[in-house]
Amino acid sequence: MKLRLGMIGGGPGAFIGAVHRHAAALDGMYELTAGAFSADAEKSRAMGGLLGLAPERVYGSYQELIGQERQRPEAERVQVISIVTPNHVHFDPARLALENGFHVILDKPMTFSLAEARQLADVAEASGCLLCLTHTYTGYPMIKEARQLVAAGTLGPIRKAYVEYPQGWLSGPEESTANKQAAWRTDPARSGAAGAMGDIGTHAFNLLEYVTGLPVVRLCADLNTVVPGRRLDDDGAVLLRLSNGASAVLTATQIAAGEENNLRVRVYGELGGLEWQQADANTLLVKWLDRPTEIRRAGTGYVGSLAQHNTRTPAGHPEGYLEAFANLYRNFALTVQARLAGRPAPPEALDFPGVAEGIRGMAFIENVVASSQSQQKWTEFTV
Amino acid sequence: MKLRLGMIGGGPGAFIGAVHRHAAALDGMYELTAGAFSADAEKSRAMGGLLGLAPERVYGSYQELIGQERQRPEAERVQVISIVTPNHVHFDPARLALENGFHVILDKPMTFSLAEARQLADVAEASGCLLCLTHTYTGYPMIKEARQLVAAGTLGPIRKAYVEYPQGWLSGPEESTANKQAAWRTDPARSGAAGAMGDIGTHAFNLLEYVTGLPVVRLCADLNTVVPGRRLDDDGAVLLRLSNGASAVLTATQIAAGEENNLRVRVYGELGGLEWQQADANTLLVKWLDRPTEIRRAGTGYVGSLAQHNTRTPAGHPEGYLEAFANLYRNFALTVQARLAGRPAPPEALDFPGVAEGIRGMAFIENVVASSQSQQKWTEFTV
Amino acid sequence: MKLRLGMIGGGPGAFIGAVHRHAAALDGMYELTAGAFSADAEKSRAMGGLLGLAPERVYGSYQELIGQERQRPEAERVQVISIVTPNHVHFDPARLALENGFHVILDKPMTFSLAEARQLADVAEASGCLLCLTHTYTGYPMIKEARQLVAAGTLGPIRKAYVEYPQGWLSGPEESTANKQAAWRTDPARSGAAGAMGDIGTHAFNLLEYVTGLPVVRLCADLNTVVPGRRLDDDGAVLLRLSNGASAVLTATQIAAGEENNLRVRVYGELGGLEWQQADANTLLVKWLDRPTEIRRAGTGYVGSLAQHNTRTPAGHPEGYLEAFANLYRNFALTVQARLAGRPAPPEALDFPGVAEGIRGMAFIENVVASSQSQQKWTEFTV
Amino acid sequence: MKLRLGMIGGGPGAFIGAVHRHAAALDGMYELTAGAFSADAEKSRAMGGLLGLAPERVYGSYQELIGQERQRPEAERVQVISIVTPNHVHFDPARLALENGFHVILDKPMTFSLAEARQLADVAEASGCLLCLTHTYTGYPMIKEARQLVAAGTLGPIRKAYVEYPQGWLSGPEESTANKQAAWRTDPARSGAAGAMGDIGTHAFNLLEYVTGLPVVRLCADLNTVVPGRRLDDDGAVLLRLSNGASAVLTATQIAAGEENNLRVRVYGELGGLEWQQADANTLLVKWLDRPTEIRRAGTGYVGSLAQHNTRTPAGHPEGYLEAFANLYRNFALTVQARLAGRPAPPEALDFPGVAEGIRGMAFIENVVASSQSQQKWTEFTV
């Protein structure tokens, strides 16, 4: 049976709301049943109509959605709520949803501040409900392959990692135009303490820790605001130390004119290295000291269990961003279904980002901002 | 409102059935409502259960599905039927569905033989129903961009085209193993007159005519059966002439060991050329005589109306095979919905393959087989 | 000691003459000592001056060069003569040089006609002198690696090969401009029976036979003259059979607008395949049925003896076209030096194209032209 | 007339000596006439013999070479001396050569220390002789194109740059093996204050300043010694500020297992960006905010004057590392010849690295080492 899904946010003009809907739809494991798509009830209703929802399941606010769905019979009410609003409207609806017994899918970064994230973690734990944080990029099968290869020691102890996330779409003062995406992302009151570092730096940070399996313990950040008048960073670079002493470099920018969304990660151990970039997402390069680089490909018979579990088609049928996103939704659905059925979830389904990753992401934002403002070279990574 | 969808074929172990289901689901425009997933009623029921269908909408045969759905009230019965069976079970269910007033989505090639295809065309016309033939690759946004650039004369008159489709999965005698996909595709009684040329050569042929906008008028084919004991061609090359006198080369093989699904097309006019390959599907290279090659990318602001209509995410968020497939489903849904509402379909939605492409594809198979058996160099392309 | 080199052709405006001089210079194994750079004695002298030759070693005709060098003391006269003239001026100077005891480096194709090539082969044999034919592309280290892998049976028996050579520089009527390269290459009186097929098709043919180690035994050609008024083919495609029954496809065109010099070869056996393209010349992709594709790279420790012998720098220091060309010169020098010293040449130095390849190349031109004019599908490859 | 060249260093087992010889030979502008190839006179003589030098021009020490060549008649003695020894043997022979009136080609980094570099600059100026420092990578035509595009303002004011130089060949303790290259490069007494940063970081730094045309004014460095027992850094990352306020990130490592020599640079301005990597050296990607990325290619008609001047073959005939190196030699030869002839050098020939770049490179090493040892985030770049 499909899980009944409610959505908070994702009204007209939103980017990520539509992505969540595609991701939820792709595998037929969710039925979008209810929504509070906008704080403007009219707009919410219009979007609900477009999406073919029953009018009585379209709400004018998230409070209304959660309150009224809570009243519905268990067999009818939504089971999972996706929250796809700007960052400053993550904490309140997530807390309310969890407290009312709904499992939650939450867009990243987890909250507006680290303090909120810590509080939400407590709420989640107390609620007994599940939470998935949509760090999309860890949903890619070849990223999972990378993690599995590193965890198996295939590359030897990790020594060095590079993760870079260049975009160019904020090269000009987009926030002065009608671009709603730009407006809230560059607004400290809606985005939080960081701009580019919060929006995409957190993805890069999550990817780094996910692939290496090593937490960051120290960092040295250099954040910049390149576009005049902008109120948050739109560019930055961070030197890092991982828990085993390895060093890493993370860069994220939204002013690299001409770049699309060019996330790339490289990790090197004593024996070899690996390289992945989103633009060629179904490929993982595995490099060796003394033999030819391998082109590992999604959908082949030789990839590991995680990559296999997170692929739908045979090799040569490229899967992309929506499929990676859908992998998070699918794994979360498998886990929620197991919970509902009172059985353990399949281990490979448990591999989705959640509260722990959310807290570390918020800590990253706060540590990076603090480091950037400091004259001291190294800042300990504190949570 | 979602269109109610019935499916014929796509039981356990099928490859393309699952693809059709993902494609139908992605945009939330269809609700899979009924199915005859296997000629084995037990298997059909099991699959229906897995998919969460109401048991009374799961049928033991396509005849049963069509017959019983026909009886249901109009507001309840399926509106579109997807046929995802092997080639020899295309014609009968498609005819029956059309004759009973259902719109049809049909996997390629259209039928078992050209004669069947011609007959089905007549049935479709008489029925007044719509038919979509899933030549996936024309669903890619950058293929649509290519077609639009050529049609606009951007490259000048077309002079030369290459289309190649190498796969390696039939390098060994897979049909002697438990591989169901290999078994029917290499069986003349189920696949038709051609093996590789029917399975993937037709895709390449369709892509060639779609991008150039020029029909093939003459050909010279060399088909081979490389794997001992195989009963149909598993490899071939075809020299072609297009209606304007341009020449082309088409190759398709399933014994290129180590190749995945490496479809590529290149077209050259007087002023420039273009190149696309599925492995990098969101990119179209546009080459010029006297200035730098351009990397055109899906999801950007500068691509044409067709590419824009067939993309869901901004540049840098790769879309792939399932999205291309979903584009066919989406365009067909928009067209069917317009038909149901009695209004004209939006022009860009009409851009999906149908009866005409199906007939040409079957003619390609028959002409290619005839040419390969002939000692004469050129065979006129007859339909 | 450096070999003393004489050059015939390669005057001002020539393309390939300068390439030969770079190739001869790179490894310091030749000293350009004499030249007849142009049939115009004035131009020859001017070029000799530019190149810093002693005036008395610059000649007004090839006859003069050969005649006078022959008179010089053995310790002074040139030992090798490079002939870099248009095709119709290959046979006479080559014959004269051989008959006078000079070793010869000859640009491809070998001669103006197959009959000339056969005759030159007899002259060469009678003379006891050595001849190198500059099929550049077999000088690339990763092409040598490809040949060695195939010869070792690594891919299993060969089943299929594709070789393609698209250029775009003759997309317009360049021969009507001041472009000397275009003028002679499109002139039947200077180029021979074929245009594009002679100029670059012979390279592709040579590469096919070199990598597979299999001679072509049958072919079906389709040659075209695309640019109005042109007197030779500027485009073509050829279906081929190799001696073991494998099939192949060769395409060569000079009207693919926007293509530079995009030679590519792919070969598939029972167990795997390989792919090389000149644009990424230091890489050889080796593909497998059931494990990741390997990126083999020039200059690494794991490549075979031929690749190692033909590389000057460690991996990651790209070598290119001039180095490939220089490999022919270097191997020829090693062989000539061994001959002069009365010892056997090192086996890896003997790996350069010569008379045998030249005859097959000329036979290719004649067979391809005959096949293209025939209505019969297959033409036996005769020499 | 060819310039007479003497070489100091480059004996058996040396890497860069052979590269210099190829670079000097390629264009026929130098004649290797004399050498002190090793501090071991026997080895020097053996190498001289291999290279075909007259025995009396092969010396047992650089002092001997310089002293005796100085005695020869002007028309006979070497005019240019190449110094290709380890870093600690740069200053003394360079000074001696300059003081004796020889033009000098010097491998990078310029000297063992910044103090030496400053002193050598004074010597060079006093001598009136010319000095070329072989920062190879600025010899690539598409790097010159990049510089020219930036200088012309094509990208708008520069905002961000990334330069990265990963190698993997020092992933293990190579200095404990017979690897002479590893031995001296990791030895503080022969390499200088830095290991990887001196060996390849200086290349990256030079490339950054060359392409952007902007000097570094401040930096924050993190150097690491990854391989146990190693005595110098083998890895590092540097945050930088350029003179116009733009930020940059430079990484260099020799422990990225599986990487060859993967130099890459990206620069972004207000209007667009550019990307170049050595592995695809003949391509420069030029990216734009609102139109397709351009693939600019060496050897085409549309590239600028510097790229054209530094290319030997038409587009599609890849040139590589040796050609880039040879461009330095060629430009230096043109400049020296002009000097000898008493005429001004052609402006495009003057574009080779020299004393100024050498001093900045040495300052980079010292600033980077100081910064890495400091707890303070930013270190002003002092020379």
> If you count residue pairs, one on A and one on C, with CB atoms under 8 Å apart, how many are there?
33
Considering only the beta carbons, identify the residue of C22, C260, C261 that sits closest to D312.
Answer: C22
Q: What is the pLDDT of residue C15?
A: 86
Please say if the pLDDT value at position B42 is more than 90.
Answer: yes
Q: Which of C51, C52, C319 sits opposite D322 (nearest CB)?
A: C319
The residues in A 165-204 lying below 8 A from B, measured between CB atoms, are 167, 169
pLDDT average, residue stretch C177-189: 92
Q: Which residue has the tokens 């590079």?
A: A162
- Reported pTM: 0.97
Tokens 């093939």 correspond to: B216
For residue D340, CA distances in Å to B78, B177, D348 come to 90, 78, 18
The Cα–Cα gap between C238 and C221 comes to: 4
Whole-angstrom distance, CA of residue A180 vs CA of residue A185: 9
Per-residue confidence band for D36, with pLDDT thresholds at 50, 70 and 90: very high
- The whole-chain average pLDDT of chain A stands at 97
Are B297 and D293 an interchain contact pair (Cβ–Cβ within 8 Å)?
yes
Restricting to B residues 291-320, those with a Cβ less than 8 Å away from any Cβ of C are: 293
- To which residue do tokens 């460095």 refer? D221
**Is-contact B377 B220, C-beta < 8 A?**
yes
Confidence class for position A12, pLDDT limits 50, 70, 90: confident
**What DSSP letter does each residue of D291-345 carry, written as one string?**
SPEEEEETTSSSS-HHHHHT--S-TTS---HHHHHHHHHHHHHHHHHHHHHTSPP
Amino acid at C341: A
Q: Is A2 helix (H, G, I), strand (E, B) or coil?
A: coil
Strand partners, C250: C163, C238
Q: Where are the alpha helices (DSSP H) in B38-159?
A: 41-50, 62-71, 91-99, 114-127, 141-151
Q: Predicted confidence band at C62 (pLDDT cuts at 50, 70, 90)?
A: very high
* pLDDT tens by residue, D180-197: 889 999 999 999 999 999
- The mean per-residue pLDDT over the stretch D350-372 comes to 98
Q: Is the pLDDT of residue B351 over 90?
A: yes
Query: Which chain C residues are Cβ-neighbours of D260 within 8 angstroms?
Result: 297, 299-300, 314-316
Query: In this complex, which of B286, B290, B301 lies closest to D302 when CB atoms are compared?
Result: B290
Residue B178, pLDDT score: 86
Percent of chain D with pLDDT over 70: 100
C277 contacts on D by Cβ (under 8 Å): none
**Tokens in use for A171?**
């090269």
CA distance C165 to C168: 10
Q: How far is C351 from chain B (nearest CA, A)?
A: 28
pLDDT of residue A15: 86
Give the mean pLDDT of C176-184: 91
CB-based contact (8 Å) between B374 and chain C?
A: yes
- Written as one letter, the residue type at D304 is G
The reply to whether A251 touches chain D by the CB within 8 Å rule is yes
Q: Do D294 and B296 touch (CB under 8 A)?
A: no
Are C294 and A292 a contacting pair at CB < 8 A?
yes
SS3 D32: strand
- The answer, yes or no, to whether ipTM is higher than 0.85 is yes
Pick the closest to residue B8 from B99, B156, B107 (CA basis): B107
- D367: pLDDT confidence band, cut at 50, 70 and 90? very high
pLDDT at B14 over 80: no
Please provide the distance, in angstroms rounded to a whole number, between the alpha carbons at the two ends of chain A. Answer: 39
Selecting from A26, A261, A279 the residue whose C-beta is nearest the C-beta of B26 gives: A26
Is residue A359 pLDDT above 90, yes or no?
Answer: yes
| CA-based max dimension of chain D | 65
Check pLDDT > 90 for residue C13: no
Please check the confidence at residue A178 and state whether its pLDDT lies above 90. Answer: no
Under an 8 A CB cutoff, do A260 and B32 touch? no
With pLDDT > 70 as the criterion, what percentage of chain A qualifies?
A: 100
Reported as a single tens digit per residue, the pLDDT across C277-324 is 999 999 999 999 999 999 999 999 999 999 999 999 999 999 999 999
- pLDDT category of residue B269 using cuts at 50, 70 and 90: very high
Are residues A259 and D273, on separate chains, in Cβ contact within 8 Å? yes
Per residue in A61-115, pLDDT (tens digit) is 999 999 999 999 999 999 999 999 999 999 999 999 999 999 999 999 999 999 9
**pLDDT band at residue D103 under the 50/70/90 scheme:** very high
The H helix count followed by the E strand count for chain B is 13, 14
**Looking at the complex, does the CB of residue D164 fall below 8 Å from at least one CB of chain A?**
yes
Residue of A nearest to D253 (CA): A160
Chain A CB within 8 Å of residue B278 CB = yes
Best residue in A179, A208, A226 to probe D by mutation, most D CBs within 10 Å? A226
- Examine the pLDDT at C14 and tell me if it is beyond 80: no
**pLDDT greater than 90 at residue C72:** yes
Asked if pLDDT for residue C181 goes beyond 80, the answer is yes
pLDDT in tens, B177-224: 989 889 999 999 999 999 999 999 999 999 999 999 999 999 999 999
Report how far residue B240's alpha carbon sits from residue C335's, in angstroms, rounded to the nearest whole number: 46
**pLDDT single digits (tens) C211-226:** 999 999 999 999 999 9
Partners of B286 on chain D (C-beta within 8 Å) are 292
CA distance D134 to D136: 5
Tell me which of B21, B174, B323 to substitute to probe the interface with A (most A C-beta atoms closer than 10 Å): B323
Model pLDDT for residues A251-260, shown as the tens digit of each residue: 999 999 999 9
Q: Which of D257, D8, D28, D246 is nearest to D150 (CA)?
A: D246
Measure the CA–CA gap between C201 and C368, rounded to whole angstroms. Answer: 10
* Cβ-Cβ contacts under 8 Å, D253 against chain A: 160, 268
* Contact state of D294 with B292 under an 8 Å Cβ cutoff: yes
Question: CB distance from D49 to chain C under 8 Å?
Answer: no
* Residue A14 pLDDT: 77
Neighbouring C-beta atoms of residue D229, cutoff 10 Å: 9
